[in-house]
Chain A
Amino acid sequence: MRMRSDAKLVELARRGSRDAAAELFTRHWRAAWRAAYVVTGRRELADDVAQDAFERAFAALARFDERRPFGPWLHRIVVNRCLDLLRTERRLVAGDAGLARLEWHDVPDGDRELLDAVAGLSLQRRVVVVLRYGLGYTPTAIADLLDIPTGTVNSRLARALEELRADYEVNDVDRA
């Protein structure tokens, strides 16, 4: 069977096809959830954020510009919801490091330290790293998605990698 494009599914979903909307959900859910998981560092928050992003996206489907791809639009909502939630949390418990606790329980041992290092990045850098290496966007696409100049994306990426390299290499030395 020929796979229908996102644009076709969006069009059908806007006409009320629940099957098309469900297919759209299935196609994008895991990537959206994983992006939320790396940015927030907690399963529960990833569940909440990814669900909330889909609810908002589907509720706003009528206003969605059909000429644009669905994925980046959804990921933009995911990222914004993550940022909103983490900023709210940080504001509510200012100065308390408790909420920064991360839960990589079900992540392979080898990846845990890498994710810890990613989680140690500032929110802005963490987001571009997730979009670049987790979701595979180009710097230009990230710039478009976050509504910032491409130069800023490249600079954030370069600094993030620099920071990660330093952090991760220190951990490597520790492990050795």
Chain B
Amino acid sequence: MSTELERQLRAGFGRLPKPTREATNQARSAALAALGSTHRRSRGGLLLVAFAVAFVVGAGAAALAATGNLHVRIGAVTPPARPFPTRLSVPAGSHGVAVVAGGKLWLATRHGLRIEGMPVSAAELSPRALYAVVGIGSSLVALAPGNRRPWVHQTDGRVISVAWSPDGLKIAYVVARPGDDELRLIEGDGSPDRLLIRGVRPVRPSWRADSLAVAYVDERGRAAVFDLSAGLRRTFDTRRCGGVTRAVAYDRREPALAVVSAHGIAVVRRWSRPATCAMLDVSASPFAAAWLQGGRVLLAVNRALGSSLERLSGTSLDEEGAASGRQALRGLAAAPAGSSVAIAVRRSAGVVDIGIVSSLDPRARLQLNRPLLRIRTAAKAVSITWR
């Protein structure tokens, strides 16, 4: 017999809130993308196709054999293509790599930390990949292998993006708040957290090489830098250089800031001097930049018919070459020494390949020289950290 408590439980569960429309739409897209490779032809259809293929091949082979033009050899002549890895491995000479796509994290470090497909909202490795900091719901959590102490910090909203300072002592992160997203700062050991800026866009912050300033995108779509030593905030309006800012990236060696806008790129070296600006053609949609050795900038660009990695001079922004491909780019990260880059590229509907492009020669075809991971995701943006 049903008790009063059981009745209350049923009624209470029946009045639970609904998932948001945003969450529903995102889940539907991801689920349908996952469906992609499960399609199976009916057995009858397969038999029909197999019969037709066998008939055509058999008839053709008989004709060719009769004329002496066909030589049959049993066994594989060419080795099968190496399968793309589904487990992330640490690239040689680096400390670790982390990939966030579609709300999931894949991570591998040389020190033994490994995560595969963990639901997170954002993630970043510490400079030597001894720690990882991840956003899980409304918490910022530091993970570490072995006996290093993990910590958790409650935030007032979902953590959208995280950036660990080059000296390893500070973490800047963007947290979603109703109306105004916030840029906040927390020490690397999880102690005091403070608000830097209220009203920022959900773009990954970027640290200056000396760890004393952090770049972000303000609510009006301008690139901005918060100087921690002086407590100063400076902004750079990219509307005159390609429109709203999409990404910011500090050079790991110099105080040079690359600002990627909707149709262009700028490099800010001194706030007292005009920035160098380069506009792209109207079909180009740049979305990320990475600094390479020798002060060069690599710009990731998607177009209606393909994509390209464009290598530019870090001072004049003159184009020094571009590697192009047919598939859309989803993410970009420079190697720790800036000698190569890791990219995420759409392979097919719902499938993204992540790998290293080591050949950045001008006019080269864009290809993954070292595959790192293949994941199933419908995500349009893939965040990569390479330490």
A residues bordering B, Cβ < 8 Å?
A: 13-16, 18, 21-22, 25-26, 29-30, 33-34, 37-38, 42-52, 54-62, 85, 88-89, 92-93, 96, 98-99, 101, 103, 106-108, 111, 114-115, 118, 129-130, 133-134, 136, 161, 164-165, 168
**Nearest B residue (CB) for A21:** B35
Which residue of B9, B27, B121 is within 8 Å of A50 (Cβ)?
B27
Interchain CB contact under 8 A, A51 and B26? yes
CA distance A103 to B23 in the complex (A): 17
Chain B contacts with A in 29-47, Cβ cutoff 8 A: 30-35, 37-42
* In-complex Cβ contact of A21 among B5, B32, B154 (8 A): B32
What residues of A have a CB within 8 angstroms of the CB of B9 in the complex?
Answer: 114, 118, 129, 133-134, 164
Is the C-beta of B90 less than 8 angstroms from some C-beta in chain A? no
A96 adjacent to B152 (CB under 8 Å): yes
Q: Flag B1-29 by CB within 8 Å of A: 1 or 0 each.
A: 00101101110110111111001101110
Query: Do residues B19 and A33 form an inter-chain contact, with CB atoms below 8 A?
Result: yes
Does A38 lie within 8 Å of B104, measured CB to CB?
A: no
B197 contacts the other chain (CB 8 A): no
Q: Is B359 an interface residue (CB 8 A)?
A: no
Pick from B10, B15, B41, B152: contact of A99, CB under 8 Å:
B152
Kindly report which residue of chain A lies nearest to residue B115, judged by CB atoms: A88
Q: Once the chains are docked, how many angstroms separate the CA of A133 from the CA of B9?
A: 6
Which residues from B are CB-within-8-Å of A101?
Answer: 154
Name the segment of B131-139, B244-252, B273-281, B321-329 touching the other chain: B131-139
B19 contacts A29, CB within 8 Å?
Answer: yes
> Does A54 contact B16, Cβ atoms closer than 8 Å?
no
Contacts of A22 in B (CB 8 A): 28, 32
Kindly list the 3 A-B residue pairs having the minimum CB-CB distance in the complex, ordered from nearest: A48-B119, A16-B39, A51-B27
CB pair B5–A42 under 8 Å, yes or no, is: no
Asked if A18 and B18 sit within 8 Å, CB to CB, the answer is no
Q: Are A114 and B119 in contact (CB under 8 A)?
A: no
Point out which of A13, A18, A47 has the most chain B C-beta atoms below 10 A from its C-beta: A47
Closest-by-CB residue of B relative to A60 is: B38
> Are A161 and B103 interface neighbours, CB within 8 A?
no
A108 to B8, CA, bound (A): 13
A12 → chain B, closest Cβ, in Å?
A: 11
Q: Chain B interface (Cβ within 8 Å of chain A)? A: 3, 5-6, 8-10, 12-13, 15-20, 23-24, 26-28, 30-35, 37-42, 103-104, 117-119, 121, 136-139, 141, 143, 150-154, 158, 376
Distance between Cα atoms of A101 and B24 in the complex (Å): 24
Docked complex Cα distance between A115 and B17 (Å): 12
A47-B19, A52-B119, A92-B150 as given contacts; A58 in contact with B35, CB under 8 Å: yes
A-B contact count (CB 8 A): 152
Q: Which residues of chain B are near A33, meaning CB under 8 Å? A: 18-19, 23
Q: Closest CB of chain A to B378's CB: distance in Å?
A: 9
Other-chain contact of B138, A51, A61, A103, A165 (Cβ < 8 Å): A103
Decide yes or no: A18 and B8 within 8 Å by CB, A42-B137, A59-B376 being known contacts.
Answer: no
Interchain nearest-CB distance for B349 vs A (Å)? 10
- Contact residue among B6, B24, B33 (Cβ-Cβ distance under 8 Å from A29): B24
Q: Separation in Å of the A176 CB from the closest CB of chain B?
A: 16
Q: List 29 A-B contacts (CB under 8 A).
A: A14-B38, A14-B39, A18-B35, A25-B31, A26-B28, A33-B18, A38-B16, A43-B20, A44-B121, A44-B137, A44-B138, A44-B158, A47-B20, A48-B137, A50-B27, A51-B30, A52-B119, A54-B27, A54-B34, A59-B34, A59-B35, A93-B150, A98-B152, A101-B154, A107-B15, A111-B12, A111-B16, A114-B8, A115-B12
Contact check: which of A55, A61, A85, A134 meets B13 at CB < 8 Å? A134
B31 and A165: CB pair below 8 A? no
Whether B15 lies near A58 (C-beta < 8 A) is no
Given A88-B118, A92-B143, A15 and B39 contact (CB-CB distance below 8 Å): yes
A22 to B141: give the CA distance in the assembly, Å: 34
Give the Cβ gap from B2 to chain A, nearest Cβ, in Å: 10
Contact present for A47 and B27 (CB under 8 Å): yes
- Chain A residues near B39: list those with CB within 8 A: 14-16
Partner of B15, one of A56, A111, A118, A161: A111
**A26 contact set on B, CB distance < 8 A:** 28
Q: Is B13 a contact partner of A54 (Cβ separation < 8 A)? A: no
Query: What is the minimal beta-carbon distance from B47 to any residue of chain A, in angstroms?
Result: 15
C-alpha gap A136/B11 in the complex (Å): 12
B7 CB to nearest A CB, Å:
9
Q: Which residues of A contact B3 (CB under 8 A)?
A: 161
Contact B119 A37, beta carbon cutoff 8 Å: no
Chain A residue nearest to B27 (CB atoms) is: A51
Q: Which residue of B lies closest to A18 (CB)?
A: B32
For residue A93, which residues in chain B have a CB less than 8 angstroms away from its CB?
141, 150-152
Docked pose: A136 CA to B33 CA in angstroms: 30
A57 to B24, CA, bound (A): 16
Instruction: Name the B residues within 8 Å of A98 (CB-CB).
Output: 139, 152-154
C-alpha gap A57/B150 in the complex (Å): 33
In the bound assembly, the distance between CA atoms of A89 and B26 in angstroms comes to 23
